[in-house]
Each structure stands twice: as C-alpha cells, then as structure tokens.
Chains A and B, each alone.
Chain A
Amino acid sequence: MSKLKVAFFDFACCEGCQLQVYNLEEEILDLLEIVEPVEWREAMSDQSDDYDVAIIEGSITRVEDEEHLKAIRKNAKTLIALGACATIGGINKIKNNFEMQDVRKYVYGKDANMPHLDTYPTKAVNEVVKTDYMVHGCPINIKEFSYIVRSLAIGKEPKIPNYPVCVECKMKENVCRFEYGEICLGPIIRAGCDAKCPSNGMWCFGCRGLVDDPNVNAAKDVMAEYGKTLDDLLGKMLLFGNKQEY
C-alpha cells in the first residue's frame, strides 16, 4: 500500500493544533508508517505540490491567503480543516465584532494604513473552499486527529461525535457547571474533547462548534431549570463560534 501523501498549511492561528501533532509523541512514528508528510513548514524544509491530503490550520483574513487556499484546494484530493480557527473561525472571529479600520488603527496606530497590515473579517476554511473533514477544537484532540488520519489512510470514513459535550461530561461524573451558577455551552456544543474544560473546573467555551442539529428544546429546559434563557446560553458564544449560524 502506498503511503498517503500529506501536506500541512497554516494561516491566521497560533499553530497550537500543528503542535498537537508533535504531541502524539511515539505515535508519530507509527503514523509515519502509513503517511508521508511532503510539506510541513513548521517541521520540515521539504516542499511539494504533490499531495493527497491538505491539512489546513488557521482562519482566512486576507485576500492573498484566500488565493493560496484556493490553489491548495485544486491540488488536494482531500482537504481537512484543523482546529477551531479553520473549522469555525475560532478566536479570530471576535475581530468581526469591530470595524476593520478600527482594529487596524487600535493595534498599529498611525501606521494602520500600511498595505501589509491589511485585513478583512475572519472566515473559516469552509467559507472559502469545500472542506471534506473537520478536526474540531481549540486545541484539537490529538486522538481524534490520529483517528481521522488513520481512517483516511485505510479508506474508511471517520465518524465524528454529533452529540453534546454534556454526554462526555456526565460520563466523567463531573458536577454540572450550572450547579456553580455558571453558564456552560456543553448542551449545544459538539463532544469529542473528553469534556476537558468542565473536568478542570471551567465552563465549556464552545471551541468545537455547535452539534449539527442542536436540541434547542432540551437546552431550553436545562436553562429554565437554572432560571436562565436560551439567549443567555447563546450570549456565551463570545469566545468561539462568534457569529455562527444557529
């Protein structure tokens, strides 16, 4: 069996999701048996346009990046969005709450109009090109990443959880964050993170995005039980998934 040729590309992001690939530690050695990285700027000096799978990290915020992404899409048989910046625009979408001229001016002051500092409202990868698979999260869950890559290498369709974080949180036997008087996005956000945040004393920020068909009625019931409304819940979607459709 020939190895799956994989190329990594990154746009506006912290590169923390690529970093998770290193964090597979010894498992990287196993993956290299079935996958051949042909371009990965953060790790390798090699470059190539000949790849089966393009893995895209980061959001699109500039015209030139949009062109680059479209060229990658043409080369790739399969395109994967890696991490929240790529899948839902992530933290970068907070910028879209402001006028672009305002954010440029705030950060760069009198130099704000220099052409290389240009920016437009943040887009997720699938707002620019067709996206075949998404590895959700900020950061991604490395086990899920490895599973998706292994599935593709053997021609299997990966199954991504489409139930809310509450399911995994309950399995961890955590006390519900609502019991602490907090608003947690668990009821409407896609599981697959092992409920990392609620298991460590924090509410769910929603970094994996909404489940495909959020059970709004159930979420309403949960909110009512704690004297809150659905709007309170949606109002918490400030950090990730800003301006997501729901």
Chain B
Amino acid sequence: MAKTVNIKVNHVTRVEGHGNIRLRASDGKVEHVEWQVPEAPRFFEAMVRERSFEDIQTIVSRICGICSVTHSMAAIKGIEDAMGIKASEQTDKLRILCHYGEQIESHILHVGYLVAPDLLGQKSVIPLVKSHPEVVKTIIRLHRLGNTWMEIIGGRMTHPVTLKPGGFTVLPTEEKLRVLKSMIEDAIPDLKTLAEVVLSLADKLPDFDRDTEYIALTGPDYYTFYHGDIASTDTDEKVPIHEFERVANEYVVPQSTAKWCKWHRDSYAVGALARFNLNAERLLPMAAETAKKFGLKKGACNPYLNNVAQIVECVQVAEHGLQLIDELLTNGLKPEPVKVEPRAGEGVGCVEAPRGILFHRYAFDEKGLCTKANICIPTGQNHGNIQKDFEALAPQIIDRDQDEIRLLLEMLVRSYDPCISCSTHYLNVEFV
C-alpha cells in the first residue's frame, strides 16, 4: 500500500525527560526517521568544579530522580578512587544492597507504570486502576518495597543521605535489616505474579530483532551492578573502568542536547538486556528460572525484551539482596568511621544504573576541590542505538496504520527506559 506518513511526536510520554520522534514517508518509503533529544541541558560537569569532594555526590545525585542512588555511588567510587580509599567489605555490601532497592523501584516504575499501559491498550496506568485493580495493587506494593528498601539503607527514597566517601554517615540497625529481609521474602509472590502478568502479555511486545552490540559491567563471580570491568558482546576484551572513554567515544549531534556514543559499531546498547546478555549465566536460580519461563536467552537482540530482562533482574536483586542481608547479619554490623583526608588525584567510578552502565570521572586538587568532571550517562549511550533501531524498524512497519506506527516507535523508545534528564533531560515525537 503506497501511502504518505507524517509523524511528529513532541515529548514522548511515559518516559523520564523529553524526546521527540520524527518520521516522514511517501509512496510507502521512509524518507526520514529521527530520534531527537531537546531536553534542557543542565551542565553538571561544569557545576561541580571548585566544589569539595564531600559535596559532589549530593550535587550529582540531582542529575536524576530515578537513579539518584546510582549517581551518588558512582561519584563516591570515583572520589574514593581519587583519594586512595578502599571501601570495606561491609560498606560494599550495604551499598550494593541500597542500590538493589533502586533497581527494583526503577524497574517496577518502568514496567508497571510506564510500559504496562501499552501492553493493555491504555494511555496511562490510571484506567488500569479500574480495569485491573489487582495488577495495579501488586505494582504499588513492589514499588513501595523498592522505596522502603532504599530508605532503610540510604535514609531517604530519592536522593540518599547516608552514602558518603569512605562509608556511611549512619548504618541501618540490624533490626531494620531483619524487617527488610521479611519484606523482600513477602514480596516474592508479588514478583512471581507480575512475571506471570507480563508473560501473559508478552505477545504484545513487537517481534523485531536487530543485531546489536551490548555493553555492561561484568565480573567473575556474580551478576554485577557494582564491581568488575566493561564488557561488550562484540569482543572478549575486558576493559578496566578507568579506560571508559575508550568504550564510550562520546560525540555531539545536532538533534540532541545529550551526547551520543559508539564503540565497535555505529552505536551500542546498555541496560537490563545488555547486562543479561553479558552475565546471564551468573543469575541466581529463581531469576534464571524466570528468564527461562519467558524463553529469554543470551544473544537476544529484540530491544522490546529489555522489559522482560528488567523483570528477571527484579527477581535477581531480591534473591541476592536476601543473601547479602544474611551475610551482613551473620557478621554483625560494625561501625566503621572513616576520615577521608583530601589529596590531589583523579578517579573513576562505575555503577550499573537501572537503565545501563554509568561512568563518572573526577579530578581533585590537594584541598579536595574538584577540578575536572566527566559523566557519561547510560541513556546518552543508548540514544544512537535508538536511532539505529528506528532506521531498521520504520521500513518494516511503514505499511501499517499511522497511529500504530507511532505507538510502535514510542514503545521502542520506552523499552530502553530512557532517563533523558540524566542524559540532559527531555523526549518529543514528531512525524513530519
């Protein structure tokens, strides 16, 4: 069917930040398809200059309300690296645990509030309150679990207070850790229910494969979000996080206030599916079983399956979170006050945000004042890949109804769980 399509979506909805979609086709041929990021740039890298190392995580946590724990931790790791501090095993475990709360909260927000309406043919979660009340209540319970989890360790749901270079301002009590443990145990049936609901709707996820380079942290002994080296599905090389610029290769494009990235190809993808593709064999039993139920296997390259990988990761962090709490309680929590003496130096911190690998690099002078910062955001790393997906997907679906084309493109953007505020911050779709 030869036809003309003009799609112009300004500010794609149900994503964090502002992005636009532009599609123009005539005689059934795509002439132009573009992913644009007009988010207002915020200049964090310039703003942290001259600030004390003690204030950096407080500032950069504000890059993103949804991954504020991740940004705080990446900054803290970078600062510790620069100041020559090694976090204790207890600190590492508590940080990873705090971060797991954010993974659950963010993944549930994304799958439950932002993506589920697409799978159920609605424009938002609000109609689902009446049509699917039990599903909505399950989502709310899991969302609250993530928030309470972060609050118990980090002191607050968004923009954590207790995380700092060297350790924690205050530790959670063992009693609170026991409460958290029983909350996670109680949530396992809800996680299973959510997985079943999404599984029953999995046929609504578009069937679209595009061979893609995936990049994530990888480590030898567990499904990591925190330790390890940078890995790609295109190569066996493991790159130390200190060399992240060699992987990211950031560049500026006219349609985006966020920088784009590429490594071995024109673009690469980060996020839950990337982590799964690089680390699936290290999933714990319940998470591995969840992946199996969905038929999700290493090598998956349908970007819409990122949503499934997020469900698998929710189970993974619940399972590993329980193990970490047991280990912490067995050893007993010990106060470990660390006085950080500033010194001149440079350091890198890397943490897997819910939406992909995040890099922070800082340099400090001898007083501990920041002299240089470079922050490389997961959504920025995905923007180029979204464009490449658009270019491959649009010709395949161009004969469909304009509203359906628009929805599939929007769903594609959503599947990446973009956090455009992070990458600058804004999303519009325009079919011109």
- Name A residues whose Cβ lies closer than 8 Å to a Cβ of B: 11-20, 22-23, 25-26, 28-29, 32, 37, 40-46, 58, 61-62, 65, 90-92, 94-95, 97-98, 102-104, 106-109, 111, 114, 116-117, 119, 138-139, 196-197, 199-202, 205, 238-239
B339 to chain A, nearest CB (A): 12
Instruction: Provide a sorted-by-A list of 17 A–B residue pairs whose CB atoms are within 8 angstroms.
Output: A13-B421, A14-B68, A14-B422, A15-B17, A15-B66, A16-B62, A43-B114, A45-B14, A46-B124, A61-B40, A107-B41, A108-B252, A119-B43, A139-B65, A139-B156, A202-B162, A238-B51
Is B158 in contact with chain A by the CB < 8 A criterion?
Answer: yes
Is the CB–CB distance between A119 and B140 below 8 Å? Answer: no
* CB contact between A95 and one of B47, B117, B421 (< 8 Å): that residue: B47
Is the CB–CB distance between B257 and A117 below 8 Å? Answer: yes
* CB contact between A14 and one of B15, B43, B63, B114 (< 8 Å): that residue: B63
A102 to chain B, nearest CB (A): 7
A17 / chain B contacts, CB cutoff of 8 Å: 65
Is the CB–CB distance between B13 and A12 below 8 Å? Answer: no
Known A-B contacts A14-B62, A108-B252, A200-B161; A94 and B47 likewise in contact (beta carbons under 8 Å): yes
Known A-B contacts A15-B17, A16-B68, A43-B113; A201 and B40 likewise in contact (beta carbons under 8 Å): no
* CB contact between A138 and one of B16, B63, B155, B159 (< 8 Å): that residue: B159
Residue of B whose beta carbon sits closest to that of A100? B43
Contact with A along B249-265 (1 / 0, CB 8 A): 00010101101000000
C-alpha gap A15/B63 in the complex (Å): 9
Known A-B contacts A108-B252, A139-B158; A32 and B126 likewise in contact (beta carbons under 8 Å): yes
B178 / chain A contacts, CB cutoff of 8 Å: none
B148 to chain A, nearest CB (A): 10
* CB contact between B59 and one of A13, A46, A91, A109 (< 8 Å): that residue: A91
Is the CB–CB distance between B425 and A103 below 8 Å? Answer: no
Within 8 A of A (CB), among B333-348: none
Is the CB–CB distance between A26 and B65 below 8 Å? Answer: no
C-alpha gap A109/B252 in the complex (Å): 9
Interface of B is mostly: loop
**Total A-B pairs, Cβ < 8 A:** 171
Known A-B contacts A11-B40, A43-B113; A196 and B155 likewise in contact (beta carbons under 8 Å): yes
Is B358 in contact with chain A by the CB < 8 A criterion?
Answer: no
A41 / chain B contacts, CB cutoff of 8 Å: 11, 13-14, 18
- Name B residues whose Cβ lies closer than 8 Å to a Cβ of A: 11, 13-18, 38, 40-43, 45-47, 49-51, 55, 58-59, 62-66, 68, 109, 113-114, 117, 123-126, 129, 137, 140, 143-144, 147, 155-159, 161-162, 168-170, 252, 254, 256-257, 259, 421-422, 425
B129 / chain A contacts, CB cutoff of 8 Å: 29, 32
C-alpha gap A89/B62 in the complex (Å): 13
A201 / chain B contacts, CB cutoff of 8 Å: 155, 161-162, 168-170
Residue of B whose beta carbon sits closest to that of A36? B126
A97 / chain B contacts, CB cutoff of 8 Å: 50
C-alpha gap A234/B75 in the complex (Å): 26
Is the CB–CB distance between B143 and A103 below 8 Å? Answer: no
Listed residue (B45, B65, B126, B159) with the most chain A CB atoms within 10 angstroms of its CB: B65
Known A-B contacts A14-B68, A201-B169, A239-B59; A19 and B158 likewise in contact (beta carbons under 8 Å): yes
* CB contact between B252 and one of A29, A42, A114, A202 (< 8 Å): that residue: A114
Residue of A whose beta carbon sits closest to that of B251? A111
B187 to chain A, nearest CB (A): 13
Is the CB–CB distance between A25 and B143 below 8 Å? Answer: yes
Listed residue (A18, A94, A97, A197) with the most chain B CB atoms within 10 angstroms of its CB: A94
B64 / chain A contacts, CB cutoff of 8 Å: 14-16
Listed residue (B46, B50, B114) with the most chain A CB atoms within 10 angstroms of its CB: B46
Is the CB–CB distance between A16 and B159 below 8 Å? Answer: yes
A183 to chain B, nearest CB (A): 12
Is the CB–CB distance between B43 and A103 below 8 Å? Answer: yes
Is the CB–CB distance between A42 and B16 below 8 Å? Answer: yes
C-alpha gap A62/B424 in the complex (Å): 14
A28 to chain B, nearest CB (A): 8
Known A-B contacts A139-B159, A201-B169; A116 and B123 likewise in contact (beta carbons under 8 Å): no
Known A-B contacts A12-B40, A13-B421, A98-B46; A44 and B126 likewise in contact (beta carbons under 8 Å): yes
A15 / chain B contacts, CB cutoff of 8 Å: 16-17, 64-66, 421, 425
* CB contact between B14 and one of A26, A32, A44, A116 (< 8 Å): that residue: A44
Is the CB–CB distance between A14 and B161 below 8 Å? Answer: no
A239 / chain B contacts, CB cutoff of 8 Å: 55, 58-59
A37 / chain B contacts, CB cutoff of 8 Å: 126
Known A-B contacts A37-B126, A42-B15, A46-B124; A23 and B156 likewise in contact (beta carbons under 8 Å): no
Listed residue (B43, B137, B256) with the most chain A CB atoms within 10 angstroms of its CB: B43
* CB contact between B125 and one of A26, A43, A202 (< 8 Å): that residue: A43
Residue of B whose beta carbon sits closest to that of A98? B46
Residue of B whose beta carbon sits closest to that of A198? B161
Residue of A whose beta carbon sits closest to that of B48? A94
Residue of A whose beta carbon sits closest to that of B125? A43
Residue of B whose beta carbon sits closest to that of A193? B156
Is the CB–CB distance between A104 and B425 below 8 Å? Answer: no
Is the CB–CB distance between B62 and A102 below 8 Å? Answer: no
C-alpha gap A230/B43 in the complex (Å): 30
Is the CB–CB distance between A114 and B254 below 8 Å? Answer: yes
C-alpha gap A46/B14 in the complex (Å): 10
C-alpha gap A44/B144 in the complex (Å): 20
Known A-B contacts A29-B129, A103-B47, A108-B252; A202 and B161 likewise in contact (beta carbons under 8 Å): yes
* CB contact between B13 and one of A13, A19, A45, A117 (< 8 Å): that residue: A45
A107 / chain B contacts, CB cutoff of 8 Å: 41, 43, 45-46
